Amino acid sequence: MNNLTAGRGVTDLRVSEGELVLLNNALNEVCNGVDFCDAEFQTRLGVPREQARILLARIGATLDSAFKATS
């Protein structure tokens, strides 16, 4: 993992495909597998569950694109 640039509210980060799969799987587990209420989710992760699910969807789309490009 390489941090490329960090700016106001945005950080560009370069990760390997394996690292992106790891992030995807961890987010999927915390969004969909762990059983705690939405308020507890936000307390523990610092963002609403829906915001985490949006990031999960973006990572999933990126992985889908990567796998299509390699097949």
**Among candidate residues 53, 71, 67, 54, the one with its CA nearest the CA of residue 20:** 67
13-71 pLDDT, tens digit per residue, is 889 999 999 999 999 999 999 899 999 999 999 999 999 999 999 999 999 998 787 66
Q: Count CB atoms within 10 A of the CB of residue 59.
A: 18
C-alpha pair distances (Å), 40 with each of 29, 56, 64, 67: 15, 19, 30, 34
pLDDT of residue 39: 96
pLDDT at 1 over 80: no
pLDDT at 4 over 70: no
What are the residue boundaries of the structural domains of the chain, listed by start? 18-70
